[in-house]
Amino acid sequence: MAIASPDLVSLPLAELELFARDLELIPIPTVQVVREGTGFDFLAVNRAYRLAGLGVIADRSPMLALLSSRIDAFLRSTDMRSDFDWSIGQVIDSRYYRVTLARPTPALRDRCQIAFIDLTAQVHTERSLRREMTTDSLTGLPNREGFSDMIEAVQADRSRHAVLVIDIDRFGRLNACLGGLAGDELLITVARRIKGVLRARDALARIGGDEFGILMAVDDDAEEAARLAERIQRALSAPFRLSDYEIGVECSIGIAQGDDAIEDVEELIRNAQFAVKRAKTGRHVESYQTQAFTLAREQFAMETALRRAIEERQLRLAFQPICDLSSGSIVSFEALARWRDQNGVEHDPGDFIPVAEESGLIVPLGRWAMDEAARTLRWWDDMCGGDCGMRVAVNLSAIQMQRDDIAPVVEAALIRHDLAGSRFNLELTESAIVSDPDRIAGIMHALKALGTSLAMDDFGTGYSNLAYLQKLPIDILKIDRSFVSGMLADRDKIAIVRAILSLAQALGMRTTAEGIESNELAQTLAALGCTYGQGYLYARPLEADAALSMIVAARAAATASSAS
């Protein structure tokens, strides 16, 4: 073991020279040795050595016998000195020394002195301090610090293990009701019961006020930890008798498997603590695996990256044309967010929009999308030398509508880019309306007052409360792709699409069919009376300049046909 005590690290060489002259004057146990043929002889031990009880005759000292190979190696070397930590004896009565081997002068090459600085007391003090620091005084179990040490040791061992964190539910309340003493007693009893179901190879620690940690050895079976969790819950389910009360205790348990990917002890404990939190929000007598954490961590990583992407303007909009089904001409473009991160990875909006919604980033993202869509439309107008004849459709998420004041955001974008409100089409989903119908109705009227038109996106997939359709100022129903694609081969889908179309007609709304990928489908939908179509048949979502080329070509074709 290393005994780190810098102040005692080395013996001044000058003293050793003094020793060479008079060994007896040296206050530190010292032995003098001389090289003899292929071996060496002990010349003498000093008074300090004798007084320390290390021996009287060097030749017979077992301590020196144990060091003989080191002494031999030193005498064969050309080194002037060598210091090392050394211990002797069994665990309980071990003694610890800093040993210094030194040649008195370069001239006396065949001699050396061995000095022993006794560090035993210091080591013991350090150890008991460490023990105190790593032990919980109430239960006598290792504390959080001690728990980390234990995990570190098994990780160094590379043996398979799992960490369980057990949190007593509502302990704070129990503590407050029963008083601190009874609370302490409860903790001690809980610790005892948990200990009772552990195997000898598992270790228990108290890592927080009402939190226990178990480090368990895992053989091959990943379910082992879950089974232990069950045993613990069973052990704690019997009522506890404390002074005059009988109380029931429930606990939540989180499990983290210590796999090779997790090298950091703290990370492993954190994983288990995270699992406990999840266990508490679910059925609190349940254990969770780390996958839940991995998922949350991935989401968190995506959230962090997305936040940066918004700040650093890594997002862009793609534009997908929406066509009039009867004439085939383009009437608008839907703006769809695209994100390529700094590693060149293109993320799917189906992945990052939900993360943006959950984290609240949908507010800055939505504001950016609104402004960017308006900016692009302005650019198209400018490139066409006036109104390019297109509208742009922007998606509004339900959460964005709850959290942001949308109407002023839309108005600001229109003003900044000098556009009429009629150029904007806003797509909302049914979930937005369900969340808070009255407030959303107010917002929708405000948006209508700006001149924009409103579309109900993904219609048919949400809660479809038909009562609101009639009350709200909706101009267009967008029939969800799931009903449209494959519709020709599916009677049920056709029936649904027909129903939506006749509903829209009855309410005086126009319709857009999403996900049109074939001519046949476009013709059928046109025949059924659907107003607009959107899908890969016409174009995939395009970069702004490619969309502009499409607009320019469509305008040229229209001019040519009107001229002929």
What is d(CA 239, CA 237) in angstroms, rounded to the nearest whole number? 6
Task: Please state the three-class secondary structure of 228-260 as a single string.
Answer: HHHHHHHHHHCCEEECCEEECCCEEEEEEEECC
Residue 155 or 329 having the CB closest to ligand C2E: 329
Q: Which residues pair with 77 in a beta bridge?
A: none
180-239: contacts with ligand C2E (CB under 6 A): none
Contacted entry of ligand C2E, Mg ion, none for residue 534, CB cut-off 5 to 8 Å set by kind: ligand C2E
Q: CB 459 → Mg ion: shortest distance, Å? A: 8
Residue 202 or 458 having the CB closest to ligand C2E: 458
- Please spell the DSSP secondary structure of 342-395, one letter per residue: TTSPEEPHHHHHHHHHHHTTHHHHHHHHHHHHHHHHHHHHHHHTS--S-EEEEE
Q: Does 425 bind ligand C2E (CB under 6 A)?
A: no
Residue of 271, 320, 425, 524 that binds ligand C2E (CB under 6 A): 320
DSSP tag of 109: T
Q: Does 397 bind ligand C2E (CB under 6 A)?
A: yes
What is d(CA 221, CA 218) in angstroms, rounded to the nearest whole number? 7
Residue of 32, 175, 233, 534 that binds ligand C2E (CB under 6 A): 534
- In the structure encoding, which two tokens stand for residue 85, read together? 């930590």
User: Among all residues, whose Cβ is closest to ligand C2E?
Assistant: 535
Q: CB 483 → Mg ion: shortest distance, Å? A: 11
From 32-40, 301-309, 349-357, 426-434, give the range in contact with Mg ion by CB under 5 A: 426-434
Residue 123 or 356 having the CB closest to ligand C2E: 356
Q: Which of 288, 306, 291, 276 is nearest to 211 (CA)?
A: 276
Q: Does 433 bind ligand C2E (CB under 6 A)?
A: no
Q: Does 321 bind ligand C2E (CB under 6 A)?
A: no
- In the structure encoding, which two tokens stand for residue 120, read together? 């035993």
487-516: contacts with ligand C2E (CB under 6 A): 514-516
Contacted entry of Mg ion, ligand C2E, none for residue 541, CB cut-off 5 to 8 Å set by kind: ligand C2E
Identity at 475, one-letter amino acid code: D
Contacted entry of ligand C2E, Mg ion, none for residue 369, CB cut-off 5 to 8 Å set by kind: ligand C2E
Residue of 101, 369, 474, 522 that binds ligand C2E (CB under 6 A): 369
Q: Does 351 bind ligand C2E (CB under 6 A)?
A: no
Contacted entry of ligand C2E, Mg ion, none for residue 397, CB cut-off 5 to 8 Å set by kind: ligand C2E
Residue 394 or 522 having the CB closest to Mg ion: 394
Residue of 357, 404, 427, 430 that binds Mg ion (CB under 5 A): 427
Q: Does 313 bind ligand C2E (CB under 6 A)?
A: no
Q: Does 512 bind Mg ion (CB under 5 A)?
A: no
Q: Which of 427, 362, 445, 457 is nearest to 400 (CA)?
A: 362
Q: Does 430 bind Mg ion (CB under 5 A)?
A: no
SS3 assignment, position 508: coil
> How many residues in the shown chain lie near ligand C2E by CB under 6 A?
25
Residue of 20, 31, 336, 497 that binds ligand C2E (CB under 6 A): 336
Residue of 310, 353, 433, 444 that binds ligand C2E (CB under 6 A): 353
Contacted entry of ligand C2E, Mg ion, none for residue 447, CB cut-off 5 to 8 Å set by kind: none
Give yes or no for a contact between 255 and 275, defined as CB atoms under 8 angstroms apart.
Answer: yes
Contacted entry of Mg ion, ligand C2E, none for residue 535, CB cut-off 5 to 8 Å set by kind: ligand C2E
- In the structure encoding, which two tokens stand for residue 181, read together? 């003493």
Task: Give, in degrees to the nearest 5, the angle at Cα 60 between 55 and 61.
Answer: 45
Give yes or no for a contact between 493 and 459, defined as CB atoms under 8 angstroms apart.
Answer: no
Residue 202 or 334 having the CB closest to ligand C2E: 334
What mask of x and - would describe binding to ligand C2E in positions 242 to 271, judged by CB under 6 A? ------------------------------
**Residues with Cβ < 8 Å from 322, sequence gap 6 or more?**
330, 331, 332, 333, 334, 393, 512, 532, 533, 534, 538
Q: How far is CA 217 from the centre of its chain?
A: 25
451-470: contacts with ligand C2E (CB under 6 A): 457-458
439-468: contacts with Mg ion (CB under 5 A): 457-458
What is d(CA 19, CA 28) in angstroms, rounded to the nearest whole number? 10
CA distances from 131 to 153, 155, 215 (A): 15, 20, 18
70-129: contacts with ligand C2E (CB under 6 A): none
Q: CB 457 → Mg ion: shortest distance, Å? A: 4
Residue 30 or 395 having the CB closest to Mg ion: 395
Exposure class string for 125-145: b at 16+ Cβ within 10 A, else e: eeeeeeeeebbbeebebbbbe
395-424: contacts with Mg ion (CB under 5 A): 395
Residue in the structure block whose two tokens are 């019961």: 193
DSSP tag of 479: E
CA distances from 123 to 82, 131, 145, 153 (A): 21, 12, 19, 20
Q: Which residues bind ligand C2E (CB under 6 A)?
A: 320, 336-337, 348-350, 353, 366, 369, 395-397, 400, 427, 457-458, 481, 514-517, 534-536, 541
The residues binding Mg ion (CB under 5 A) are 395, 427, 457-458
